[in-house]
Amino acid sequence: MTPIDQALKLTQKTSSLYQAHFTKDWYQGRGVYGGIQLGLMLKAAETFIDNDDFVPRSMTCHYCEPATEGPVDVRVQMLRAGKTISHLQVFIERDDQIISSSLMSWGRQRDMEAVHTPDDQRTLPSKKDILKVPHVDRMPVFCQYVQFYLESMSPPYLGMGEPSIKGYCEFIESSPLTFPVLGAMLDMWWPSGGALLKKPPRNAGTIDLSIHFLRAPTPEDDCIYMDFENHWQRDGYSGEYGHAYNLKGEKIASIRQWIFFDERPPHPNKD
């Protein structure tokens, strides 16, 4: 079992309740990074629905508190089960305290003639022709399992440059690109708005992340290409918007992320 498969492992307790386990090797800051939570919620919803005709079409995840190590419950609530679209809410909880939650819509494919798919067939650079990012100690802990390839980015914490980032991301020990694995990948990029900061923030984190799933991931793919840019940053908050592509250059997801940056000086009791 690969590290990402182990991190997304669920034990079913009832038809709507599952258990997972957070570990420190997937930490970013004070808790497990948000992609693991996204992946677990997608996996729980997928198991709960148990219908291959329904796939995730959209989700918005809110991160309520740090996802610290230990067992957690993943609870699925069906809000409305429709013939073509179903709406669910999924919670990750511990001791009746919500750690994160998401609202999702799952739906069947519909026939459509009025198709509009801008920037869908994109010519992607080869991974071997762009920067393979070396692992360094200041990266989040979970990056030990991840490899990034950068086509372009503005360096963080210089207070200058265009806040954008493009490149590939993959798990070093690859796993088939299912919806839960894709969900884990879509929250692993660092925010491009960091290029506008003049120094590392005291703290930073995702408040919420929304995804529109445009097509199913291709299981034989083991990485995705990401194109992100900052669209708004002030008052301690930063907004990212971008798209993910499979290795054929087909757009598979659109992502919007809302982040907080704490620019206060470091805490006096912190080394």
* Residue from 214, 255, 55 nearest 120 by CA: 214
Inter-residue contact 177 to 234 (CB < 8 Å): no
The pLDDT, as a whole number, for residue 270 is: 57
Amino acid identity, position 136: V
DSSP secondary structure of 179-196: HHHHHHHTT-SPPGGGGG
Q: Domains of the chain: which residue ranges?
A: 3-109+125-262
* Residue from 92, 89, 118, 119 nearest 105 by CA: 89
| Positive or negative torsion for Cα 204, 63, 145, 170 | negative
Q: Which residues in the chain come in under a pLDDT of 70?
A: 267-271
Question: Tens of pLDDT along 118-142?
Answer: 888 899 999 999 999 999 888 899 9
The pLDDT, as a whole number, for residue 225 is: 96
The pLDDT, as a whole number, for residue 269 is: 62
CATH topology of domain 3-109+125-262: Porin (2.40.160)
The pLDDT, as a whole number, for residue 268 is: 64
Please tell me the distance from the alpha carbon of residue 81 to that of residue 205, in angstroms, as a whole number.
Answer: 33
The pLDDT, as a whole number, for residue 206 is: 92
Inter-residue contact 90 to 104 (CB < 8 Å): yes
Contacts of residue 177, defined as CB under 8 A and 6 or more positions apart, other chains included, come to 217, 218, 219, 220, 221, 222, 224, 246
Please tell me the distance from the alpha carbon of residue 100 to that of residue 65, in angstroms, as a whole number.
Answer: 7
* Residue from 214, 165, 210 nearest 187 by CA: 210
Contacts of residue 109, defined as CB under 8 A and 6 or more positions apart, other chains included, come to 53
